[in-house]
Structure 1
Amino acid sequence: MSETTIREAKISDCDSLVSMMKEATDEMNFGTKLKLTAKDLEKDAFGKSPNFGIYVCQSAACDIVGYVLFYYTYSTWEGRSVCIEEMFVSPSHRRKGLASALWRRVVQTALQNDCKRCNLTALPGNEFLLSQGAFDLSVLEGWLFFRQTKEAMELFVKSCQVPGGVLIREAGRNNCKTIRKMIQDLADYEKMPEGPKLSAATLEEDGHGETKFYRCFIAENDRALLGYTLFFFTYNAEGHGVYMEDIYVSPEYRGRGIGLALWGKVIQAGLDLGGTRCDFAVLDWNIPSIDIYKTKGAVDMTEASNFHFYRMTREVMEKFAKC
């Protein structure tokens, strides 16, 4: 570690980073294909309002020997979170604590921004992640990772229609109290009523403040708010993506296509950014939702590619950051 430096990536690193991303995707065989060029990465990471960050590990010879790519996410239970999308160290520099150092730097930055969780995706039984205090949510709670490809996204939005008498629009500050109630309704349905901890005021600050940690669409008619979907943008070696954190429609308004219309808006937002995928999670017992997702081209990546969700809690993050 004494011969290496962890620092923020610079424009001049883009060629090395893309080469290393190619090496990482080939080695991990995780279903992701490198589609970025150095110019793409330069534009996305150092252009206007990037939605992700990269730290690199630089050797004493000034070579880039590792990197971590991360972005901020949002939990409707606890609020601000961070996701480590990619973390890789060159084989010649492994077993020197560099991956832990990269991870720790992200956690330290996330804590400075009041994040409550650190999320990662990996194969089951990842001893490195488990040894650092992360736990496997897919095993403990039954969360499955679903993904739509760009082709499936485009097919879906072409056929998606908003039901008559329903308006779908971006949520405003004045909608946060009702959205907070619906978040609780969704948690009750998911059999996790104690989950949501954040307040309507926190929702307002994080979604409508100077830094926006999430976006939200609502469905309404002339009488009431009918449902919502909360999402954020992602990034990996394929480029931009979108993650749908929550989607909920009040029971009395289900079966009318409102949920599909909300989902379609999220997908369109991702496509507008040049996104190549729409990701989301669903509990393994929620067969009705799983069946709907599959009919729209979403693939269960936990089943197909063994994707598992891992998480560090705030308490574990704080201990890890001080190591």
Structure 2
Amino acid sequence: MNFSIRFATENDMSQVLDLITELAVFEKEPDAVEITEQDLIRDGFKEHLFKCFIAETEKEVVGMALFYPRYSTWKGKTIHLEDLVVKEAKRATGVGSALFSEVIKYGHAQGVKRIEWVVLDWNEPAVKFYEKNGAHILRDWDTVQLDEQGIQNFINTNA
């Protein structure tokens, strides 16, 4: 399959949102996506909160890798890869590997000390892909989050 990788533009955000929604369905959270195309445009291109590579073939976006800068008190500059998604029909064609490679090359060029992301423990194909590419799965760390309601509860209790 012929495809190319490039930085996403505002005009790609509708298709990027479609990929985000497809990922949510795959991760068994079909109703979890609250973000809109306008949010993606504002946050990515007005506020510059993230960068996004897309893979496209004949003007169809078939994959994306969305990432943003972070800072480690131990390492310094890092990147967080929020999502790497390839359309189900286009998986196992090299698109995911190409997107992953592009993020790593970008991070290297930026001088980051680490690139990190989260993978569901039941997503064995993804785990194997990342391990095959030299990633370390930190199984002794737990992801911790305060969702919107948790933040509001904290504010209400500790104001």
TM-score, normalised to structure 1, is 0.47
Root mean square deviation, CA, Å? 1.4
Q: Distance in 2 between matches of 1:220 and 1:314?
A: 34
Q: 1:180 aligns with which of 13, 17, 24?
A: 17
- What is the CA-CA distance between 1:205 and the residue it aligns to? 0.7
Instruction: Give matches, 1:17-56, under 5 Å.
Output: none
Query: What's the counterpart of residue 273 of structure 1?
Result: 110
Q: Distance in 1 between matches of 2:39 and 2:154?
A: 26
- What is the CA-CA distance between 1:200 and the residue it aligns to? 0.7
Name the SS for the 2:117 alignment partner.
Answer: strand
Larger Rg: 1
Summarize deviations over 1:137-193 as a string: whole Å, max 9, x none. Answer: xxxxxxxxxxxxxxxxxxxxxxxxxxx731111100001111111111111111111
CA contact (8 A) 1:247 1:259 kept: yes
Query: What's the counterpart of residue 62 of structure 2?
Result: 226
- What is the CA-CA distance between 1:262 and the residue it aligns to? 0.4
Equivalent residue letter for 1:169: R
Q: Which has the higher contact order (CA 8 A, sep 6+)?
A: 1
Q: Distance in 2 between matches of 1:297 and 1:316?
A: 35
Instruction: Give matches, 1:158-197, under 5 Å.
Output: 165-197=2-34
**1:216 aligned to 2:52?**
yes
Q: 2:145 aligns with which of 293, 311, 316?
A: 311
Q: Distance in 2 between matches of 1:192 and 1:318?
A: 22
TM-score, normalised to structure 2, is 0.92
Moved over 6 A (4+): none
CA contact (8 A) 1:242 1:266 kept: no
Q: Distance in 2 between matches of 1:223 and 1:274?
A: 32
How many residues are matched?
A: 156
Q: 2:94 aligns with which of 257, 267, 281?
A: 257
CA contact (8 A) 1:219 1:227 kept: yes
Query: What's the counterpart of residue 125 of structure 2?
Result: 288
Name the SS for the 2:144 alignment partner.
Answer: strand
- What is the CA-CA distance between 1:258 and the residue it aligns to? 0.8
Name the SS for the 2:35 alignment partner.
Answer: coil
Structure 1, unpaired ranges of 5+: 1-163
Q: Distance in 2 between matches of 1:271 and 1:281?
A: 20
- What is the CA-CA distance between 1:239 and the residue it aligns to? 1.2
Equivalent residue letter for 1:224: E
Structure 2, unpaired ranges of 5+: none
- What is the CA-CA distance between 1:314 and the residue it aligns to? 1.9
Higher strand share: 1
Q: Distance in 2 between matches of 1:295 and 1:247?
A: 16
